[in-house]
Amino acid sequence: MKSLLAWLRALFSQAEPVVAEASAKDAAAIGQLHGASFRRGWSDDEIERMLLDRNVIAHRATIGRAFAGFVMSRVAAGEAEILSIAVAGPRKGRGLAGRLLRHHLGRLAGVAVRTVFLEVDEDNAPALRLYRRAGFREVGRRAGYYPTPGGKPSNALVLRRDLV
Ligand X SMILES: CC(C)(COP(=O)(O)OP(=O)(O)OC[C@H]1O[C@@H](n2cnc3c(N)ncnc32)[C@H](O)[C@@H]1OP(=O)(O)O)[C@@H](O)C(=O)NCCC(=O)NCCS
**Phi-psi group of 28: left, alpha or beta (phi > 0 → left; psi -120 to 50 → alpha; rest → beta):** alpha
The reply to whether 37 sits near ligand X by the rule CB under 6 A is yes
51 binds ligand X per the rule CB under 6 A:
no
Q: For residue 148, which of 125, 119, 121 has the smallest C-alpha distance?
A: 121
Residues in the chain: 164
Among 64, 78, 90, 93, binds ligand X (CB under 6 A): 93
95 near ligand X (CB under 6 A): yes
Minimum CB separation of residue 4 from ligand X in Å reads 33
114: left (phi over 0), alpha (psi -120 to 50) or beta: alpha
User: Binding mask 63-82 vs ligand X (x if CB under 6 A, - otherwise)?
Assistant: --------------------
Q: CA dist 103 to 38, 78, 145, Å? A: 23, 18, 29
| 115, 124, 154, 155: residue in contact with ligand X (rule CB under 6 A) | 124
Determine the residue with CB nearest ligand X.
Answer: 97
Q: Which residues bind ligand X (CB under 6 A)?
A: 37, 85-87, 92-98, 120, 124-127, 129-130, 133
